[in-house]
Amino acid sequence: MSRQLSEQEQVRRSKLEKLTEAGVQLYPERFDMTHTLAEASQLADGVADVRVAGRIVAMRKMGKLSFVSIQDLAGRVQLCIKMDGVGEKNYEIFQHLIDIGDFIGASGSMFTTKTGEKTVQVTSYQFLGKCLNPLPEKWHGLVDVEARYRQRYVDLIMNADTRKRFLIRSLIVREMRTFLENQGFIEVETATLQSNPSGALAKPFKTHHNALDVDMYLRIAPETYLKRLIVGGFHHVFEFARCFRNEGISPQHLQEFTMVEGYSAYWNYEDNMNLIRNLFIHIIQKAFGTLVLTIGDVQVDLSKEWKRVTFRELILEHSGIDIDQFKDAKSLLKKIFDKGIVLDVDKPQELGRGNLIDHLYKKVARPKVVEPTFLTAHPIDLSPLARANDSDPNLTDRFQLIINGAEIVNAYSELVDPIEQMKRLEDQAALRGAGDEEAMVKDEDYVYSMEFGMPPISGWGIGIERMLQFLTNCENIKDCVLFPITRPKEN
């Protein structure tokens, strides 16, 4: 069924016919610009032969004089269009056939109005594209949250905060690459379709490879493939990986997201604590020009030392439960129930001890951590790929960076013993067989690669959307994705 056009949509379509009748090219091939709008807004008065282009977002038509604001992703400039400047015919076309939302290119010279606004005195303009759907009302913009996610293109037009957020995202990715490459890291790409969804405790998306006639999975993490590359001789390696986890929806969780992971031969997790802190300081300084940020309702100075706290200490502080006193999932779950704590999981009795501890931590402790904090000493049954601590084999040499209630970085010294790795994966497989869908599958090919010998390794992962969420104080992580997953809309 075709969509019923509104009156405004019909009017705009009729203007296309009139533009054609007036000899205007509806869809020109290109337009030469001398400056972006951000650049033009900084030009001195009197600069001539300025050529700019953008979308019309505001218009004031006053007889033989019109003021127009045009916008692109990073800037805005006003145009002053006069009948005696562009000619009577061209001015009449502009007055009657060009609307807010249309694209226009203009040539002219710079001046500043009495109100202090940088403006192009237009000597000629070119129509560059018609907006057939009227934009949302100027003062309210696109305020419906679901519409903003479904129609991100309109959200970008109407909301300056949205434009700024995604420019920051691009800067984060660019500066992260620059920093890592300057530290000797090499960027690689590994498989998105995998026969075993390994590398994290998560439920995968399943698909089918028709040509090979085998079931496959969208990756939940690039970890095991990157560590295969360490076996092959890479010393410092990283990847920006699109990952997929078939899990619940929340303001902090996405089912499709970007993870950057890095691995270093001969390093331990303490080395990566230093790397991550320096990386964040570099990126935040570049993005905001300061290390003092408002995170939630608190001002945080990231130049200061970052706190360190163990997993046990944090849970004990916020729940009164000492996880070291409970050696199996059943006794721990009873204590959780006794405390009246309700976990955000449907069947907690099916979780292994590691995942149960993780859900407890996420419920009672993580939301209360605001300042940058390194969370260390994770239980080994929560970290099947991490190296056991030399002093306490029930713990791992691991850390997570928590900021404003979100896990921004996960890192650890890697397990490089193939015999121990197989034992742990078999334990995970048993949990999976008992109903824990987030337990890790047994990846025998990965263990086989380990048997060719691994040096000491430390690795880390950063969720780009999580990082952007805390940097820009977003309540919902979907605001950090250009096109988040939404339920299909019926006609």
- pLDDT at residue 9, as a whole number: 93
Q: Is the pLDDT of residue 125 over 90?
A: yes
Does 7-135 carry CATH code 3.40.50.920? no
With vertex at residue 221, the alpha carbon angle to CA 265 and CA 472, rounded to the nearest 5 degrees, is 100
- pLDDT at residue 45, as a whole number: 97
What is the DSSP secondary-structure string of 11-43? HHHHHHHHHHHTT--SS-S----SS-HHHHTTP
Closest CA to 436 of 395, 385, 382: 382
Q: Is the pLDDT of residue 314 over 60?
A: yes
With vertex at residue 325, the alpha carbon angle to CA 324 and CA 329, rounded to the nearest 5 degrees, is 85
- pLDDT at residue 404, as a whole number: 81
With vertex at residue 120, the alpha carbon angle to CA 118 and CA 122, rounded to the nearest 5 degrees, is 160
- pLDDT at residue 381, as a whole number: 80
- pLDDT at residue 439, as a whole number: 76
High-pLDDT (> 90) share of the chain, %: 76
Closest CA to 380 of 409, 441, 423, 437: 423
**Domain boundaries defined on the chain:** 7-135, 158-306+371-480
Mean pLDDT of 445-468: 95
What are 477-487's pLDDT values in tens digits?
A: 999 999 999 88
What are 7-62's pLDDT values in tens digits?
A: 999 999 999 999 999 999 999 999 999 999 999 999 999 999 999 999 999 999 88
User: What's the CATH superfamily of 158-306+371-480?
Assistant: Bira Bifunctional Protein; Domain 2 (3.30.930.10)
Q: CB of 100 within 8 A of CB of 108?
A: no
What are 150-177's pLDDT values in tens digits?
A: 999 999 999 999 999 999 999 999 999 9
Q: Let me know if the fold of 7-135 is the same as that of 158-306+371-480.
A: no
> What is the rounded distance in angstroms from the CA atom of residue 406 to the CA atom of residue 311?
15
Q: Is the pLDDT of residue 142 over 70?
A: no
Q: Is the pLDDT of residue 469 over 60?
A: yes
Q: Is the pLDDT of residue 139 over 50?
A: no
Mean pLDDT is lowest, of 207-221, 245-259, 328-342, 436-450, for: 436-450
Buried/exposed code over 185-194 (b: 16+ C-beta within 10 A; e: otherwise)? beeeebeeeb
Written as six digits, the tokens of 78 are 């006003």
What is the DSSP secondary-structure string of 367-407? GG--S-EEEE--BGGG-TTBPBPSS-TTBBSEEEEEETTEE
Residue 88, C-beta contacts closer than 8 angstroms, at least 6 positions apart: none
What are 288-309's pLDDT values in tens digits?
A: 999 999 887 788 889 989 999 9
Q: Is the pLDDT of residue 1 over 80?
A: no
What are 224-274's pLDDT values in tens digits?
A: 999 999 999 999 999 999 999 998 888 888 999 999 999 999 999 999 999
**Predicted model pTM:** 0.87
Question: Long-range contacts for 1-8 (Cβ within 8 Å, ≥24 apart)?
Answer: 1/491, 3/491, 6/134, 8/134
- pLDDT at residue 250, as a whole number: 85
Residue 266's Cβ-side half-sphere holds a number of Cα atoms within 13 Å equal to 4
